[in-house]
Amino acid sequence: QEVNQYCMGSFDALSAFSVQEADPSKASKPFDRDRDGLVPSGGAATVILESLDSALKRGANILAEVVGYGFSSNGGHISNPSVDGPVRSLHMALKDAGVSAGAIDYINAHATSTPTGDTSEAKALNEVFGQFKPYVSSTKSMTGHECWMAGASEIVYSMLMMQNGFIAPNINFENPDEDSAKLNIAKETVEKEINIFLSNSFGFGGTNSSLIIKKFI
């Protein structure tokens, strides 16, 4: 994903960007009460998805196993998401993986630091995972929003956490709002074994995808 004025112009037209310029390192603050928009960034990531038989046959270094996937669409407004769509995506992924909400060790949230988007996701996560309180963080707090590349990048980030036994922090989370206060958000790096994680990727127009990945043993 390359950052330039052409690919980012449409986001600017939607007033999706943060205008906190005094300290750019604090501008991306997913789930924080004072968030005001996303910070665009670039990046590149590649993951290879193949059948277990194929990977074993060629002696591949298997990093993890995709066990569940959910997708929903709730188009009603291009930049004002609902809670229903993400909830359906999350339930679909859990059902596909054959696991309960309590089995998830970590959630890499989509949260981009936009006021309405983060609220919608926080409410959805509370509805599905509320009683279990898995650790949650948005790596976009550190990387910014890699836009079209974000989903792949965040799978890579989460697999690195799983391989090395830690949860990356949701930096700049200083003042929770009513909804994010109910989540178990990692404010600092947490040393924890991750056996199974979920990563959300939501998009403008109401597209919602949730991917569940398990440590390969």
Domain positions in the chain are 5-215
Find residue 166's DSSP bridge partners: 191
Looking up tokens 């968030």 gives: 35
**pTM as predicted:** 0.93
Which homologous superfamily does the CATH classification assign to the domain defined by 5-215? Thiolase/Chalcone synthase (3.40.47.10)
CA atoms of 76 and 74, how far apart (whole Å): 6
pLDDT tier, 74 (very low <50, low <70, confident <90, very high otherwise): confident
pLDDT over 80 at 1, yes or no: no
pLDDT, residue 175, reads 98
Model pLDDT for residues 32-56, shown as the tens digit of each residue: 999 999 998 988 999 999 999 999 9
pLDDT, residue 180, reads 98
